Structure 1
Amino acid sequence: MGEQPIFTTRAHVFQIDPSTKKNWVPASKQAVTVSYFYDSTRNSYRIISVDGSKVIINSTITPNMNFTKTSQKFGQWADSRANTVFGLGFSSEQQLSKFAEKFQEVKEAAKLAREKSQDKMETSSDQSQESGRETPLANQASSFNGTDDEKIYHGGPENPEQKSENNPLKSVVDQSKKWETELQTLTESNARLMDALQEANSNAESWKSQVSKCQEENSQLRNRISELDVQCQDMNVEREKNAQLTVRIHKLEADLQDKQQELENLRKQAEIIPQLMAECESITAKLQAAEVTNRDMNENMKLLQAEIDTNQQRERSMKMELKKFMDVLDGKIDELHEVRQGMSKLGIDN
């Protein structure tokens, strides 16, 4: 069936700087998919991560690997074959815990797979040794078979008694041929296993040297981690300060926007001020003209009042004269009435 994914998560991928062996270098610009793969044909486990078309993690899990949590959301492991240290930054502590648990589970599975392969190698080696010890018997059977063949096939015509005697010999011949084939196969397998064992021994030596290097790097990384923890604490303090400053900046930006709005309103009002000034000047001129007109009207009113007063005096005097004239007229009328009466009396008397 080939390789199949057995666990998948997302994380930011980092690799240790090969020059300094201290600083982390981002391998991905954003969170990418990180998966555990199981190869059923090879009985092996790998961690694979691809960013676009670029493979950024291809790490085969071995029993000697360890996954270390360096913070609440960050973990790392060293890969001696790739000669690097991988780091993963997760969005939550729960995702980191799940990945670490899966790493331990895969590590134990790889350990069991290695032990099974070693048991198979030891079993095949023992079988090859036993086959080697049985070789003289097979050769003896082969030589015995060869002499009998000469007797059977070169001795002339066979009778029924000879056929019954040769049947067991034929079975022995067939069995010896099978043993020869198995012996040859086991010899080839033993040679391949010896080559594999030598290669495994050489790989073990290289792994030991790489493990010692990894241990030294691990100690350096631990020292670096302690330094980074201190720096992280300082960074947390700075982050709190930055958060407070950010709130303050947002408030100041809001105040600045309000002030800018007020300034814009004042600018608009300042644009209206010349109009208002012109209107004010025109109104002032009109007011001055109205004041002049008012003064003229006041003077005219005074003159008119004087004329009115004069006319009132004249009217009073005319009323007095008219009264006197009426009184005189009434006297004259009374006199005329008396004259008329007298004349009427004279007429009657006449």
Structure 2
Amino acid sequence: MTFTKTSQKFGQWADSRANTVYGLGFSSESHLSKFAEKFAEFKEAARLAKERSQEKTELTSTPSQESASAPGDLQSPLTSESINGTDEDRVTPNTPKHSKARAEPSQNALPFSHSSSSINKHWEAELAALKGNNAKLTAALLESTANVKQWKQQLGAYQEEAERLHKRVTELECVSGQTTAIKSQKTELNRTIEELELALKAKEEELERLKAEVESANEFRFQKDTLTQKLKETESRNQMLEVQLSDLEQRLESSQLERETYRNNLCSLLELLDSKIFELTELRDMLAKLMEGS
């Protein structure tokens, strides 16, 4: 597998065994360069490990192979995967020899299709992430809506209780004098009212927070719709470009055929012209001989 920089902040590599193309985007060009260097280092290390394992297999005999199968000499899965990867690297360099014989539009079509597919994968990944966030926010919104309804009911009950307590305090003040028992009961009722007011204030703050979460969920939904529209536009544009590319290839083939036909016609005309010139030369020689004889 060979890592290729397709732009200043994006690179990709292909796995021919899995028939898959992988791509990575980076925040800066320096990070992309560092990743490419590390990719090449691990690729070279895998190749050296492959060569060493082959040399060890050739030098060791059957008893040494049995001793090598002990638990202490087992290779790690990473090394075996890297060795398998080097086999693919040794095979893939032969493929560009066949691709060089293709026409020029075909060479330009391959990077273009890779870039468009990488853009589509990028938008699809963002869309999937937004769908997950949207599902979580929707669940939180439903739970928050149920909680809001419950809190509203509790708030109504608290308000009714507060009004009842206020009426009770008023009745107690009207019915009896300001005795010590009534004062303590009034203080207690006032404390209860304050606690209820604090609880009401906390519920209102929680309600405001839930409203903000609902607004953010709506924004995420809008972003999801926007990304979906962009993805559709990108796919339609990709299809249009593919149609244009195929049209250009057909035009190129037809122009090459016309050029070949024109060249063949010119060759036939040249041959005919050579024969006519030869005949005129013979006719001139004959006329010259006739003039000399006369």
TM (norm. structure 1) is 0.32
Q: Which one has the largest radius of gyration?
A: 1
TM (norm. structure 2) is 0.37
Higher strand share: 1
